[in-house]
Structure 1
Amino acid sequence: MISTSLIILIIVIVIYLSLGLIVYFSNSKNKTNILFVLLIMSIIIWVCSNFFENEKIAVNFFGLLLKIDFVFAALMAYFWLLFVLNFPKQDKNITFIKEILLLIPPILFAFLIFFDQIIINIRFDRNVIFDAGPLFWFYATYCFIYFVGGCIILVSKYFKLSGTERLQTFYVVLGAFLTALIALAVNLILPQIFPSVPIDISRIGIYSFLFLASFTTYSIVKHQLFDIRVILTETATVLVIMALLIQVLLSQNTIEGVTNLVILIIVSYGGYLLIKSVKDEIERRKQLQILSEQLAHANSHLKELDKMKTEFVSLASHELLTPVSAIEGYLSMMLDEKLARIDDPKAIHYMDQVYRSAKRLARLVTDMLNVSRIEEGRLLVEKKEVSLTGVITQTIDELKFKAEEKKQKITFQSANHWETFGDSDKIKEILINLIGNSIKYSKNPGEIELLLETVPTEQVKETWGKVEGAIKDRPLDDQEAIKSAVDERLKRLVGERQILIHVKDQGVGIPREELPRLFKKFHRVGDYTTAESQGTGLGLYITRALVELHHGRVWADSEGQGKGSVFTFSLPEAGVQKEIQDLEAQVPHRGDMKPLARPTKQAEEL
C-alpha cells in the first residue's frame, strides 16, 4: 500500500520535473535556463534522499542517503549562486575560471562528507540522527554564504535593474522569500515550540522550495514568449494524470483497474487538447500584443514626425512671410498708389496678376504659420471687454468692396449693443473667414446676413453634443474635425448664457455628407471651388481653433446644394471675465507666445 507521504513526494517531484522541462525547452541554449535545470535536479535528489533517509523501507541505506542529502545540499548552494550571478541575463564578468573556483568548496565538502569529516555517528531512531563532525560548521558556513549571498546579490540587482529585468528579478526574490519564510517557520521556529514535530510536518519546509522553483520558472519563461496559464494548465493536467495513475495502481480488482485506466486515457487526451488550445490562444494574444506594440511605436514615430513637420512649417512660413510681404507691398505701391509710371496696359495687367498671386501666397504662408502656432500653443490671445457690434461693423466695412465684386450684400441690423470678453483681432479673423467663405462660394447675386442672439449655455452644449455625436459616428478620418489642439480649459463653455453669431448666405450650399468634414485641417469641399476662390483648406480649421480659444463652439448647417449655408459660432457674454481669467490662469504658458502672423514692419511701412 502506497503511503500518503510517498504520494505527496511523487507529486512534488513531478511538479519539479515539469518546471525544469518547461524552462529547458523554452530556451535550451540559454545558460540561465541550463543552470536553473541543474538547480532543479539538485533539489529533486536532495528532496528524495531527505525523504527516504527517514523511512523504514530504506533503513539499510539511511547513512548513504544522509550523505547524499548533504552532498546535494552543497551542490544546490553552488547552482543557486551561479544561477543568481547569471540572472536575468548572462553576466560576462562571470568567467569560466571564476565558476570553477566557486565549484571548489562544494566538491571539497562532498569529498569530506564521505570521509566522516562533516557528519559522524549516523544512526536511526524513528528518523535518522547524526553528530556534527570536525568540519561541520565550515560546511554550514559555506552553505549559508552561498545561499544568503545569492539572495543579497539578487536584491541588489532588483534595485539596479529596470523594466522587464527588474520584474523578473522581483519574482525570484518573492519565491526565495516565501521559501525561506516557510522553511524557517517549520524547521526552526516550530521545533522550539513543539519539541516533537512529526516528520511529515517538518517535510513541509523542504517542499517549500517549490515556491522558489515556481516563481523562478514564471520569471524566466514569462518573458520568453510563454505564459503562466500554460504552466498552470500543464501542471494541473500532470497532477490529475498522476493521481489517476496512482488510482489505477491502487485498484482492488480488474474491473476497477480497467475502468480507472479508461478514465486515465480519456483525461490524458482531454488534457492534451486543453494544453494545446491554451497555447494556441496565448500565441494569438502574443501576436496581437506584438502588433499593438508595433502600432504604438509607429504612432509615436508619426507624432515625432508631425512635431518636426509643425516646427519646419513654422520656421519656413516665418522666413517666407518677409519677402512675400515685400513683393506685395511694392506691387501695391506701383499699381494702387502710382508711385512708378507704367504706360503699357499689358504690363499693368501682368503686374496685377503677380500682385494677386503674391496676396494669395502671403495668405497661404500666414495660414500655415498660424496653424503651427495654434498647434504648438504659442498663439497669443489678448482678451478684454470687446464691443462685438463694433467688430462686426468694422469687418463688414472691410469686406464690403470684395462682396460687391461678387454682387453680394452684407447686412447686419441690431438694436442691441453686444459685448463679449475676448480678443477683438481674433474675433475679427473669425468673421473674415466665415463671411469671406460666403462671398467666395456665391455665384449669383445674393445677400449675406449676420444675426445675433443670446441663448442658454445648456442649449449650446446640447446642439454641440448632437454635432459632435454625428461626427463620432463617422470614420476615424472624419473625426479629425473635432480633434482640437486647444487646451480643454481654454475651450470650456463659461457663463449661463452664450452669444450666437449666425452668418447666413445664399451661396452654392454644402452637401449634407460634407458638413462633418468642414473643420478638418486642409479639407475642401470637392466640386464647389472655383478658379477665383482657391484656398488652403485651413481657414475653417483656424476659425474653429480661434472660437475654442474664446470658450466657444462653431458649426455649420445647409439644406444642400444651391440652398445656401449657415455658419454659427458662440462667444461668452462680457460678464464672465473673472471666470475666464481663473480658468486660463490654470493653463501653463509657453514661451515665445506670438500673435497671429501679420506682415513684417517693412511690409507695413510699404
Structure 2
Amino acid sequence: MSSILTPNIVSLLITTAFNVLLAFFILSKNRKSPVNRIFSFLALGVALWSFTNIATQIVKTVHQGILWSQISYLSTLIIAVSFFLFSIIFPEEEKMSKSRFFIPVIIAAIVTSVLLFIPKFVIETVTLSPWKIMTNRGAYLYTASFVGMLLFSFGNILRKYRQLKGEQKAQIKFVLIGTLATATIGIFFNLLLPIFFNYYGLVWFGPNAGLVMVGFIAYAVIRHHLFDIKVIATEIFSILISLSALIDALLSQTPTEFTLKFLLFSAISLFSILLIRGVLKEVKTREQLAALTEKLQKANDDLQKLDKAKSEFISIASHQLRTPLSVIKGFVSMLIEGSYGKIPDKGKEILSKIGASSDRLNRLIDDLLDLSRMEGGQMKYEWNFINLAELAGSVVDELQPQADKKGINFKWLNQAPEKMFVRADKEKLRQVVMNLIDNAIKYTSKGFVEVKLVKTPENQARLSVKDSGVGMDQEEMNLIFGKFVRGKKTPRLWTEGVGLGLYVARKILEEHKGSVWAESEGEDKGSTFFMEIPVY
C-alpha cells in the first residue's frame, strides 16, 4: 500500500498525537486521582485505535494486516472498559468495586481480548487492496461484548444524570453528549458497515470521531474545573498548531518550501513555549491567591465564631449580674429609708455611693445586653411618636444634681417648636440622650455643659451637647463611635467605662434613620456631640 501521507493518515496522526499528549498531561497533574488515571487510559485507547488504523493502511503483508486488525479491535475494547470504569467513578470518585457490573465486565473484557488473538476465531483474514477484514462468527461475540460494555456505561451515566444536581449534572451532560456521539459514529462506521455490510472505506472516520468524546469530556473537565483548565486548553491548542505546521512542512514539494515552512514551524513552537510559560505563571499566581483567599475566609469564619461566642458570653453574664445588682440596689434603698433602723449620715453617704455605683453598673449591663442583641439580630424596638423636647428635658432634670455636685454650669436650651414629634423607641432614645449628656458631665471637670435642641431646615430634630471638657483630636473623633473605644484622656477621668455607650448610641440612631457625630477643636478645648433624627 502507498506510504504517502494522505489526508486520512494526517488526520489520524493528529488524533493520535492529541490523545497521547492529553493523556500524559492529565496524568502528570495528579497521578493518584482515579479520574485522572482512567481518563488518561481512555485517551490512550483512542490514540491506539487511531494509530492501528494508520498501520492497517500501510502494512505490506496479510500477516501484518491481521495483527494490526487484532490490535485495533483490542483498542476499542480498551476504550469500552475505560469508559465503563470512568462512568463508575466520575464525578465523585466512587470505588469501582461498588458497581455490581464491575466483575462481569472485567471478565468479559479479558475473555474477549484472549479470543481476539485466537487464529481465525474473530478475524478470518484480510485483503490489502482494497483493504478489508473478513470476520468469523467470533466477531458477533466481540460485538456483543463491546456493545454490552457501552450499555452498562451509559446506564451508569444516565442514572447519575438523573440523581445529581447543579455542577455535577452539567459535567455528566457533556460526558453523555460526547460519548453518545462517538459511540454512534464508531459503531456505524467501524462495526455495522464492516461486519454486516463488508464496507471498510470509512473505518478511519471512527477513530477521528474519538476526538468528539475526548473533547466533550475535556470540556466538562475544563468548564467545571476538574483539572488545570487554562493550562490544558493552552497546551493542547499550542501542540495542535505546532503539529499542523510540522505536518505541513513534511508535505512540502520543494526544498525551499520545506525550509520556509520549517522556519514557520520553529517560530510557532517558540511562541507556543512562551505562551505556555506565561499561562503557567498566571495559573500559579491564581492558585496562590485562591489558597490565600481560602485561608482568609477560614480565619474570618473563626473570628465570626469567636465573636458569636463572645456575644453569647456577654449576654449570659449580663443576665446573671442583673439580678444581684437589683437586690443590692433594693436593700441599699431600704437601708437609706430606715427600713432596718436608723443609719448615721456617714453611713447614708456610703450607701448612696453604693447605689450610684449599682446604677452605673446597671447601665453598663444594659449596654452589654444591647450589644449582644444587636450582633445577634435580636434587638427589638417599640415604635411610637414622642416629644423629643420632653424626653431630653427629663434627662436634663435627672442629671442636674450630678452637674451641680461638680460645680458645672449646666444649661438646657430648648429652641424647638412646641410640638416636635419623632418616631422612636422611647426607652432606647432616652438611653442615647442620657449617654451623650452623662458623658459630657463626666468628662468635664469645670466650666459648662450646654444641651440644645433645634429643628433644622432639613426637617431634622438636632440635639447638641457642648462641653468645656477634655476635647479630642481628629483621630479620636474618627474612632470614638467604635466598639470598645475610649478617648485618650477619658480613662484618667473615669475609670469605669468600657467604650460601648457611643457605639450602642450610634447603632440605635441608625435604626431610627438618624445619625450621631462629634466635633472638637482639639485636646482640652471641649467637644460637641450631635444627634439628628427625622421629625414627623
Same fold (TM over 0.5): yes
Match of 1:449 in 2: 451
Q: How far, CA to CA, are the matches of 1:235 and 1:84 in structure 2?
A: 24
Could you tell me how far apart the structure 1 residues matched to 2:113 and 2:141 are? 12
CA displacement 1:268-323 (0-9 Å, x = unmatched): 34433332232122112101101101111221121122112111211110011110
The answer on whether the counterparts of 1:175 and 1:214 sit within 8 Å (CA) in structure 2 is no
Match of 1:240 in 2: 241
Per-residue Cα deviation, 1:98-132 (whole angstroms, up to 9, x for no partner)? 8665333223323434444445575567553646x
Counterpart of 1:68 in structure 2 is 71
Report the Cα distance in structure 1 between the residues aligned to 2:409 and 2:492, rounded to whole angstroms.
Answer: 17
Deviates more, 1:369-378 or 1:528-537: 528-537
Q: Shift of the alpha carbon at 1:31? A: 4.2
Q: How big is each residue's C-alpha offset from its partner over 1:366-399, in whole Å with a ceiling of 9 and x where there is no partner?
A: 2211211222233332222212222122222111
Aligned match for 1:507, one of 469, 473, 476: 469
Output the amino acid matched with 1:399: L
Aligned in 2, Cα 1:124/1:316: closer, same or farther, shift over 3 Å? same
Larger deviation, residues 543-552 vs 81-90: 81-90
Corresponding residue for residue 385 of structure 1? 385
SS at match of 2:457: strand
Corresponding residue SS for 1:455: coil
Distance across 2 between alignment mates of 1:295 and 1:246: 50
Give the one of 442, 448, 459 matched to 1:440. 442
Counterpart code for 1:546 = I
Residues 331 and 382 (structure 1), Cα distance of their counterparts in 2 relative to 1, 3 Å cut: same
Q: Distance in 2 between matches of 1:96 and 1:303?
A: 43
Instruction: Indicate conservation of the 8 Å contact 1:408/1:439, yes or no.
Output: no
- 5 Å-filtered alignment, 1:159-558, equals 160=163, 167=168, 170-171=170-171, 173-181=173-181, 184=184, 188=188, 199=201, 203-217=204-218, 226-254=227-255, 256-335=257-336, 339-343=340-344, 345=346, 351=351, 353-406=353-406, 407-414=408-415, 416-456=418-458, 497-532=459-494, 534-558=496-520
Structure 2 residue corresponding to 1:5, chosen from 8, 21, 24: 8
Is 2:86 aligned against 1:106?
no
**Cα distance in 1, alignment partners of residues 362 and 441 from structure 2:** 20
Query: How far apart in 2 are the matches of 1:546 and 1:180?
Result: 63
Q: State whether residues 229 and 278 of structure 1, in contact with CA within 8 Å, keep that contact through their aligned partners in structure 2.
A: yes
The number of residue pairs the alignment matches comes to: 524
Aligned-pair CA distance for 1:540: 0.9
Partner Cα separation in structure 2 for residue 70 and residue 128 of structure 1: 14
Q: Normalising by structure 1, report the TM-score.
A: 0.76
TM-fit CA distance, 1:529: 4.4
1:35-62 deviation per Cα after TM superposition (whole angstroms, max 9, x unaligned): 3333223222222333554x47668454
In 2, Cα distance between equivalents of 1:297 and 1:159 = 34
Aligned-partner Cα distance in 1 for 2:511–2:531: 12
Contact 2:393/2:412, CA 8 A, preserved across alignment:
no
Q: 1:543 Cα shift?
A: 1.0
Q: Distance in 2 between matches of 1:503 and 1:118?
A: 101
Q: CA deviation at 1:527?
A: 1.8
User: CA shift at 1:153, angstroms?
Assistant: 1.2
Q: What displacement does 1:258 show?
A: 4.7
1:566 is paired with a residue whose SS is strand
Q: For the residues of structure 2 that align with 1:537 and 1:555, how far apart are their CA atoms? A: 15
Residues 442 and 507 of structure 1 are in contact (CA less than 8 Å); yes or no, is this contact kept in structure 2?
A: yes
- Residue 185 of structure 1: how far off its partner (Å): 6.3
1:570-601, CA deviations, whole angstroms, 9 ceiling, x for partnerless residues? 22333xxxxxxxxxxxxxxxxxxxxxxxxxxx
Same amino acid, percent of matched pairs: 29
**2 CA distance for matches of 1:239 and 1:77?**
26
Preserved CA contact (<8 Å) 2:448 2:467: yes
| CA distances 1:174-222 after superposition (whole Å, capped 9, x unpaired) | 1341242365369759x99xx9x9956x744432322332454566699
Structure 1 partner of 2:97: 94
Distance 1:250 1:123 in 2: 28
Q: What is the identity, as a one-letter code, of the residue corresponding to 1:73?
A: T
CA drift of 1:160 comes to 4.8
SS in 2 for 1:208: helix
Structure 1 residues 533, 32: closer, same or farther in 2, change over 3 A?
A: closer
Residues 344-364 of structure 1 deviation map (CA, whole Å, 9 limit, x = unaligned): 94x666555544443333332
Whole-Å separation in 1 of the counterparts to 2:223 and 2:174: 15
SS in structure 1 at match of 2:498: coil
Select the structure with the greater relative contact order (CA < 8 A; seq sep ≥ 6): 1
